[in-house]
């Protein structure tokens, strides 16, 4: 069993997968920053200064009565909240990642189609044999 695991772990695909996971995690961080720091502030400003990360509805008040100044204050009070702003942020992040993956897959599919469409050059031997055949046919 140890030998099988060693063979599995040392395959080239495992290294490719590890690199993909690390790049994916870094990409996720970049997308989070893009959404939280670049996209959502102007949208919140257009909507009237609303900070989407603080957009929530109180379903049940906590130890202190609502309104709560922030989501953190509501959580400290023990309130049950519906965090719509955080959900909207997560949805936008998902759409950006999904679109980026779509572009990557589309590019890979286009490259595969080009490789399949390109006719393979005949082997050198066949070309020489065809030339000899054509010369003999002219005689």
CB-CB contact of 4 with 58 (8 Å):
no
- Confidence at residue 18, expressed as pLDDT on a 0 to 100 scale: 81
Share of the chain above pLDDT 90, in %: 6
Condensed to tens digits (0 to 9), the pLDDT of residues 41-65 reads 888 888 887 777 888 999 988 888 8
- Which of 37, 32, 51, 36 is closest to 94 using CA atoms? 32
Condensed to tens digits (0 to 9), the pLDDT of residues 65-86 reads 878 888 989 999 999 999 998 8
Between 115 and 44, the higher pLDDT residue: 44
Assigned CATH for 2-50+83-138:
1.10.1200
Report the predicted TM-score, pTM, of the whole model to 2 decimal places.
0.62
Q: Which residues pair with 81 in a beta bridge?
A: 58
pLDDT at 12 over 70: no
Length of the chain: 139
C-alpha 6, offset from chain centre: 30
Please, what is the average pLDDT of the chain?
Answer: 85
C-alpha 26, offset from chain centre: 10
> How far is the C-alpha of 20 from the C-alpha of 26, rounded, in Å?
10
Residue 110 buriedness (CB in 10 A; 0-12 / 13-18 / 19+): exposed
> How far is the C-alpha of 91 from the C-alpha of 13, rounded, in Å?
31
Token pair of 89 as six digits: 């942020």
pLDDT at 23 over 70: yes
């Amino acid at each position: 069993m140890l030998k099988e695991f060693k063979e599995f772990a040392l395959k080239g695909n495992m290294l490719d997968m590890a690199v993909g996971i690390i790049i994916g995690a870094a990409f996720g961080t970049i997308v989070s920053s893009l959404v939280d720091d670049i996209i959502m502030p102007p949208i919140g400003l257009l909507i009237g200064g609303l900070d989407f990360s603080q957009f929530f509805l109180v379903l049940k008040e906590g130890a202190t009565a609502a309104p709560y100044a922030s989501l953190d204050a509501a959580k400290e009070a023990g309130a049950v909240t519906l965090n719509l702003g955080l959900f909207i942020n997560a949805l936008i992040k998902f759409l950006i990642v999904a679109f980026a993956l779509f572009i990557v897959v589309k590019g890979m599919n286009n490259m595969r189609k080009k490789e399949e469409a390109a006719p393979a050059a005949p082997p050198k031997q066949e070309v020489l044999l065809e030339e000899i055949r054509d010369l003999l046919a002219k005689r």
